[in-house]
Structure 1
Amino acid sequence: MAGAPNLHQRIREEIEARILSGEWPPGTRIPVEHELVAQYGCSRMTVSKALSALVASGLILRRRRAGSVVAAPTQPRAVLEIPDFAQEAARAGVSYRFEILHRAVERLGPAGARRIALPADHEMLSVATVHIYDSVPVAHERRLINLAAVPAVLNEAFDRIPPGSWLLDRVPWSGAEHAIRAINADAEQARRLAIAPGAACLLVERRTWQAGNFITEARTLYPGDRQYLVGRFSPPEGHHDPRSR
């Protein structure tokens, strides 16, 4: 069987691509071993090796009698955690809703391409959202989603769940980057957030990747008096500073 030593890797990569793209969301049944054996014309051992690798990476679960299914994403713990807006509102005992202000497929311009290290003219889904607690706008979010990495997002209307929550529920990420800076709201931002033009705001830029593939960038603007962020961290392993005693 030509190429058999690498066939398990091909099987793994093709299943992995369907999971990471959102084509197979959590709970989707993976074809059983004999189906994959027939599909790829290989031995059961080759298929088992591919599935075991996917289990080890946390992408699928093997269940007795039910077979293998796509696992729900387990998110890595970031030093700075950005709370889910709906969950945060529930904890605070306030109502939550969101409004989609803009949704369109757009091509990256030169500045965006440099910022996220993708080619200019690369197709992205651009979504603008305002998040509202009770009747108060608490954040204005502009998000870019890489359509090459998450093509299933094109079919999502975001009528019941905002883009960030949709991604967290369906697409695991392995790396993230945060940048935080203070800015003054321009006229458009002030209108969306119901604040005065020039008011102090906090801009949080977050980019996430999965296995080196860019997934999304969110640029979230908070009125300065409506948000605070906390980061928790520890010194490097083995580091002991006498000043901390």
Structure 2
Amino acid sequence: MSTPLHVKIRTGLEARIQSGELPPGARMPTEAELQAEHGVSRSVAQRVLNDLAQAGLVVRQKRLGTHVAEGARQVNLLRSLDPRIDSAGLPGRMFVISAEIMPAGKAEVQVPGLDDDDPVTQLVRVRHDQDDTPIVIEVVAIPFSLAPRLLEEQLESLSVRAHFAKNKVSIARSRMYFDPILLEPRHADLLGIEPGVAVLRRRRLMWQPNGQIAESAAYYLRPDALEFYVEYSEPSH
């Protein structure tokens, strides 16, 4: 199933907002400009801007146009689960902390279905926002057999799902868990906050069509850094 065009356009605009390229108060493209740039109908362009407004990312005013909302730091969690979308749209730059091949039993995250001696590639990165404040720690473990050349990629900008797509690795389903935890010293140091602070850990598992694990990931979120929400749009007929 392909991603609807209005979702692709919205995803690109969300990424520009959340990266700071379109800061609070910035003018958004008009419906006519979106039509011309993407070759879509007015109804599609209108839906893109309306969806962004409903998510709280932009403000639409008659005669004044559409502008980025103040404090637009929201992320739709469904995008983190949808295998058709290669990025969750989180803002800022990635910094690689470590990248190595190790036995699954020594990885920071559990990798269901693998023996402790099975090799995995583990990648630990920290995302900083446009003010260079660390906001998310990402720990990802992938069976080595699925991505044997992963460490040859540009890891600062790597999207695991895009890498899978490029290498014909199919994802059949994803599942997400949320755990309130007390931050350990090593993670607290990476986020620049005191250890023992209560944070939300977001865990994601992805499986292949044959039922075997494709990825196990954990995300440690700095308190108050981002606002997450869940939104589903009915497909147009």
Q: Please report the TM-score for the alignment, with normalisation by the length of structure 2.
A: 0.55
Q: Number of aligned residue pairs: give it.
A: 155
In structure 2, runs of 5+ residues without a counterpart are 5-10, 24-90
Distance 2:132 2:121 in 1: 27
Structure 1 pair 91/102, CA: closer, same or farther in 2 (3 Å)? same
1:139: Cα distance to partner? Answer: 0.0
Deviations 1:64-86 (A, max 9, x none): xxxxxxxxxx579xxxxxx9995
| 2:157 is the alignment partner of 1:134 | no
| 2:89 is the alignment partner of 1:90 | no
Structure 1 pair 75/205, CA: closer, same or farther in 2 (3 Å)? farther
Larger radius of gyration: 1
Structure 1 pair 91/157, CA: closer, same or farther in 2 (3 Å)? closer
Please name the residue that 1:144 is paired with.
Answer: 141
Say whether the 8 Å CA contact 2:108–2:139 is kept in structure 1. Answer: no
Structure 1 pair 165/193, CA: closer, same or farther in 2 (3 Å)? farther
Q: Please report the TM-score for the alignment, with normalisation by the length of structure 1.
A: 0.53
Deviations 1:103-146 (A, max 9, x none): 00001118979651212211100110000111344100111011
| 2:116 is the alignment partner of 1:120 | yes
| Secondary structure at the counterpart of residue 192 of structure 1 | helix
Distance 2:107 2:164 in 1: 26
1:232: Cα distance to partner? Answer: 3.8
Q: In the alignment, residue 175 of structure 1 is paired with which amino acid?
A: R
Say whether the 8 Å CA contact 2:111–2:141 is kept in structure 1. Answer: no
Please name the residue that 2:194 is paired with.
Answer: 196
Structure 1 pair 75/176, CA: closer, same or farther in 2 (3 Å)? farther
Matches within 5 A, 1:1-245: 74=2, 89-90=18-19, 93=22, 96-109=92-105, 115-137=111-133, 138-159=135-156, 161-164=157-160, 166-167=162-163, 170=166, 172-211=170-209, 212-232=211-231
In structure 1, runs of 5+ residues without a counterpart are 1-57, 59-73, 77-82, 235-245
Greater share of residues in helix: 1
Percent identity at matched positions? Answer: 18
Deviations 1:158-189 (A, max 9, x none): 14x13446446536421111110111212111
Structural RMSD (CA) = 3.4
Structure 1 pair 215/165, CA: closer, same or farther in 2 (3 Å)? closer
Distance 1:147 1:109 in 2: 13
